[in-house]
Amino acid sequence: MPDAAAPPPPDPDTAIAVRGLTKRYGTTTAVAELDLEVRVGQTLALLGPNGAGKTTTVECCTGYRVPDAGSVRVLGLDPRRDRTRLTPRVGVMLQEGGVYPHAYPDEVLRLFAAFHRNPLDPGHLLERVGLTASRRTRFRDLSGGQQQRLCLALALVGRPEVVYLDEPTTGLDVAARRSTWELITELQDDGVTIVLTTHLLDEAEALADRVAIIDHGRLIAAGTLAELTADEHPTVTFSSRPGLDTAALAGSLGVGVTEEDSGRYRLDADNAPELLVALTTWLAARGERIEQLRAGRSSLEEVFLELTEGTEAARDTRRADGGAGLLARSSDAGTAA
């Protein structure tokens, strides 16, 4: 049975408060004692390998699932008990939109608009997501990217204070993805609280104020991008011709040098300007080119991999993706829109 303990009084600056959330399916614990908080107007990127518990967490926050323990409050309300009061204030975009296959985009958007007291103009919103020309195309005949954009419009038509976006750019081409990012940025400017689940790390880096990483149903890291990517062990990495004389380079620079992968090198040192000058001078003297150079903070991808790549869920994800892994950059991920 759900934990009956009364949660603390709601904080008006907190949009979503999750305390000790636990959800089980039979003998499998999908979410285990999860604590999470999203402030009003923040964008939280919820990351994790497939099967980590992201979707279950969002479903508990939207009232689709009943927690086995813990509490969830959204805008100070219980998503289940206060569903009638909360639903008009929340927008939800799921990967599977559940739209009737024979419905037309303009009619289904007008229908959803009729459920709200002060909706956005359906025609303008349809134009904003690039579906005006397809307004009389049945949902089943839209491309995957067009269906995604319609589901996004349905989540936004009611002017929500909180919106959940589950992989909103899946299946979009580069232009449509950029347009969706712009729309999300407009929501941020309007003070809308956003929970974003995505497998695209550059999307999280571009849009999120805070990032939460969960694995096996537990929160394993949370913070701003700067906090999560602050590197306690400074390194400089660069790409060049495979097989460089790392011993000679290390002797010249006075720091450790490792060829981590074919043609990808790591210097165990901070990104001091004199080190970078010495590196480029050494390479230039031997006619070698630098294909890529990165110095400073760790990337979000590196942090994610360090925290999760040893888990069974992450290994399964990489196998399912043909070895590319969950962390495909958005430039490789889009298809038809």
Extents of the domains making up the chain:
14-229, 236-295
Q: What pLDDT does 9 receive?
A: 65
CATH architecture for the domain at 14-229: 3-Layer(aba) Sandwich (3.40)
Neighbours of 254 (CB within 10 A): 9
Find all residues with CB under 8 Å of 54, minimum gap 6, and list them: 46, 47, 48, 197, 214
SS3 153: helix
In tens, the pLDDT along 181-239 reads 999 999 999 999 999 999 889 999 999 999 999 999 999 999 998 888 876 566 789 99
pLDDT for res 112: 95
Closest CA to 279 of 240, 222, 307, 221: 240
**99-156 pLDDT, tens digit each:** 999 999 999 999 999 999 999 999 999 999 999 999 999 999 999 889 999 999 999 9
The mean pLDDT of the chain is: 87
Confidence of residue 272 (pLDDT cuts 50, 70, 90): confident
* pLDDT at residue 311, rounded to an integer: 55
Q: Is residue 99 within 8 Å of 141, Cβ to Cβ?
A: no
Residue 44 is encoded by which pair of tokens?
């939280």
pLDDT at 3: 52
Q: Say what the pLDDT of residue 125 is.
A: 95
- Longest Cα separation, the chain: 72
Locate 143 and state its tokens: 């491309």
Region 83-88: mean pLDDT is 94
Q: Give me the pLDDT at residue 300, please.
A: 85
Residue 77 structure tokens: 């309300």
In this prediction the pTM is 0.77
